Structure 1
Amino acid sequence: MSAEMFAHAVELRTIATPALWSVTLAALMLLLALDLLLTRRREAESVRAAAGWSVFYLLLPVLFCCYLWAGHGGGVAVEFFTGFVVEKSLSVDNLFVFMLLLSAFAVPHALARQVLLYGIVGALVLRAVFIALGAAVLQSGTWAFLLFGGILILTAGKIVKDVVAGERQEVDVSSMRTVRLVRRFVPVTEDYRGSRLVVRENGRRALTPLALAAVAILATDIVFAVDSVPAVYGVTEDPYLVFATNAFALLGLRALYFVLQGVLARLRHLNHGLAVILAFIGAKLILHWAHGVWPAVPEIPTPLSLGVIVVVLAAVTGTSLLAGRRARLRERPPAQRPDPLEETERR
């Protein structure tokens, strides 16, 4: 293999025009402003209202996918939708970590919306930075596909290792480097002061625990960006589509959090599915690089990728619900457990 073949630059093609970028960013700012207005309401948001907003934010990418299909063809639309499904799956895992952080910081329910919005805005900014870096790396040579594929496979391996070891996702606030660094240089109040991030106490400025919670969530956003951006670049090489999938997946997370708050803990096999998906996309990236060097090496088409991702997510959702049902049955007293023979006859 020659060095020229290995380092051949990738020509990134994009459907985006300056006008399309402008409209997309303007719409994104408008939706974020709407979310900001919702978070400033004093009354707590009901689960019904959160469900309505979640449906709204799920309809937006479907409508955008229809626009792509009509204006740019089915191939582009399938790439976008596949990337969106991947990013939405990863964002649900993000929500679980956000839930742990909010619990670890004992964030009042009324302030949870504000912290989540900080996390979403921070994630969007960080994803935009990583997307630009990813595009620059891809343009420097096809070796970037190997790099991205390796990152995803290593991440999948770490997830599997944690699952096999039986480690539960927990958050120890005191051990987080960012939190320790902030506490070292800036005083922090002992209690929350409403929605304020900074207050004046004893003649000097001090941060509130709400500010620490926001810093912790922003720090986790960096980790999530390292995984999510290479994952979607495994589906499409268009930086605009990569940004759009991330934006649509992150928008509405605030509302989705309150809908799934009682369900997230039941998706006990979600990490299994994410490990399979990340490893699959990592292999897809490596095969894509190998195909550019040796054309005889087959590639994994995007429609097949979408099918695999949907099947994996459906499977882990089903197994999670089944495992939860069996766990609840085991917790019942023996007298209240259903008779297996009667269950069989009923079926």
Structure 2
Amino acid sequence: MWGGTIAVVLALVVLDFVLTRRPHEVSMREAVGWTTFYIALPVAFGVFLWVNSGGTAATEYFTGYLLEKSLSVDNLFVFMLLLSAFAVPKVLAQRVLLYGIVGALVLRGVFIALGAAALATLDWAFLLFGAILLLTAVKLLADAAGGYEAEVDISTMRSVRVLRRFWPVTDDYRGTKLTVVEKGKRALTPLALVVAAVMATDLVFAVDSVPAVYGVTGDPFLVFATNAFALLGLRALYFVLHAALSRLVHLAYGLATILAFIGVKLVLHWAHGVWSGVPTIPTAASLVVIVVVLATVTLTSLYATRNKQQEPTEPEVEASTS
């Protein structure tokens, strides 16, 4: 199972690099087609698990996948801000997202291994993971209350400052090249800077994501599978949801609620091991909570922004008044 799943993931990553070797602007038809494929694939894998490993493993997998997919939408919002801040040409957006996905896969793999080792050797690992998720939920609520930053100041990003300190940077993009040779010296392109920034955010998201899915299942294989399948479809999903992301104004509240719920679930799991009378939360209940919360914040977000696309732009208003 490990070997087969890793082989499929690597094959799909290589396929994505082949498909993006010639930069082009992604059409909605292309994005919807690949998004459909990357949703059908994990669903088929879940059915395979159900038939071969039973309902418990399949339920844990589907719950973890839905959790990771919902967290990945928040990733996409940050990616959208970064691509806008770096003025990434539309034809290069899919290559930037692909680098970000590969970086996220590598980092998640490292954190999954560390998490499995911690759970196997440390009795209080579940308590630690629960505390991380509860603190993350509080931070998300604080950010949501204050409003997301509409712009990103790239000059303040540590990854960008470090790269600029050691290498010169070209003034413009050079296709898909990360580095070029100018006047006999190796220089970075802006593409390298945005890739570094995206991977730096991948690290932050991995710290929250892996403990969250360990709150659903303790099987490292299922943790890896849910992360891998949730991340693989991000590139296509970005272009499908790009226009809708700005309308999901309540998403942060929903994610904070889910992370807080999973955090409490982990703390209760730890407490149950210490005091047998403490109740635990079953995986099926987690699945119901995640589905209900996501459906609720999506509906409330769409309702709250229902007039957003109907509002005339400033030129239209001026034209009508003149």
TM-score tier by shorter-chain length is over 0.9
Percent identical: 66
Q: Superposed, which structure 2 residues align to 1:154-169 within 5 Å?
A: 154-168=135-149
TM-score by length of 2: 0.94
Matched, 1:107 2:65: no
**Of 64, 86, 91, which aligns to 2:72?**
91
TM-score by length of 1: 0.88
* Residues 84-103 of structure 1: CA deviation (Å, up to 9, x unaligned): 00000011110111111111
In structure 1, distance between residues paired with 2:23 and 2:262: 43
Amino acid of the residue matched to residue 221 of structure 2?
Answer: Y
* Residues 108-164 of structure 1: CA deviation (Å, up to 9, x unaligned): 001111111000000000000000010111112220000000000000001111222
In structure 2, distance between residues paired with 1:115 and 1:261: 15
Partner of 1:192: 173
* Residues 258-291 of structure 1: CA deviation (Å, up to 9, x unaligned): 1111111111110010000000000000000111
Contact 2:98 2:235 (8 Å CA) reproduced: yes
Provide the aligned C-alpha RMSD in A.
1.4
In structure 2, distance between residues paired with 1:103 and 1:45: 16
Amino acid of the residue matched to residue 239 of structure 2?
Answer: F
**Of 46, 64, 81, which aligns to 2:27?**
46
Partner of 2:109: 128
In structure 1, distance between residues paired with 2:149 and 2:171: 28
In structure 1, distance between residues paired with 2:134 and 2:281: 16
Q: Which sits farther off after the overlay, 157-166 or 310-319?
A: 157-166
Contact 2:23 2:176 (8 Å CA) reproduced: no
- For the residue of structure 1 that corresponds to 2:246, the secondary structure is helix
In structure 1, distance between residues paired with 2:162 and 2:238: 28
- For the residue of structure 2 that corresponds to 1:272, the secondary structure is helix
Amino acid of the residue matched to residue 242 of structure 2?
Answer: Q
**Of 149, 152, 162, which aligns to 1:171?**
152
In structure 1, distance between residues paired with 2:71 and 2:24: 30
**Of 38, 58, 62, which aligns to 2:43?**
62
**Of 229, 233, 242, which aligns to 1:252?**
233
**Of 14, 30, 36, which aligns to 2:11?**
30
Q: Superposed, which structure 2 residues align to 1:319-338 within 5 Å?
A: 319-326=300-307
**Of 265, 277, 290, which aligns to 1:296?**
277
Number of equivalences: 313
In structure 2, distance between residues paired with 1:321 and 1:305: 24
**Of 3, 21, 25, which aligns to 2:2?**
21
Partner of 1:239: 220
Contact 2:24 2:90 (8 Å CA) reproduced: no
Partner of 1:214: 195
The Cα of 1:67 is off from its aligned counterpart by 0.8
Partner of 1:9: none
The Cα of 1:193 is off from its aligned counterpart by 1.1
- For the residue of structure 1 that corresponds to 2:168, the secondary structure is coil
In structure 2, distance between residues paired with 1:166 and 1:95: 17
The Cα of 1:170 is off from its aligned counterpart by 3.6
Larger Rg: 1
In structure 1, distance between residues paired with 2:311 and 2:10: 49
Where structure 2 has 5 or more consecutive residues not aligned to the other structure, the ranges are: 314-322
In structure 2, distance between residues paired with 1:127 and 1:170: 27
Matched, 1:309 2:270: no
With over 3 angstroms needed to count, the CA separation of the structure-2 counterparts of 1:169 and 1:153, relative to structure 1, is farther
The Cα of 1:104 is off from its aligned counterpart by 0.5
Partner of 1:5: none
In structure 1, distance between residues paired with 2:59 and 2:235: 26
Where structure 1 has 5 or more consecutive residues not aligned to the other structure, the ranges are: 1-19, 333-347
- For the residue of structure 2 that corresponds to 1:298, the secondary structure is coil
In structure 1, distance between residues paired with 2:277 and 2:205: 34
With over 3 angstroms needed to count, the CA separation of the structure-2 counterparts of 1:329 and 1:54, relative to structure 1, is closer
In structure 2, distance between residues paired with 1:262 and 1:166: 19
Contact 2:23 2:92 (8 Å CA) reproduced: no
Amino acid of the residue matched to residue 178 of structure 1?
Answer: S
Runs of 4+ in 1 over 4 A off after TM superposition: 326-332
Amino acid of the residue matched to residue 321 of structure 1?
Answer: L
In structure 2, distance between residues paired with 1:96 and 1:294: 41
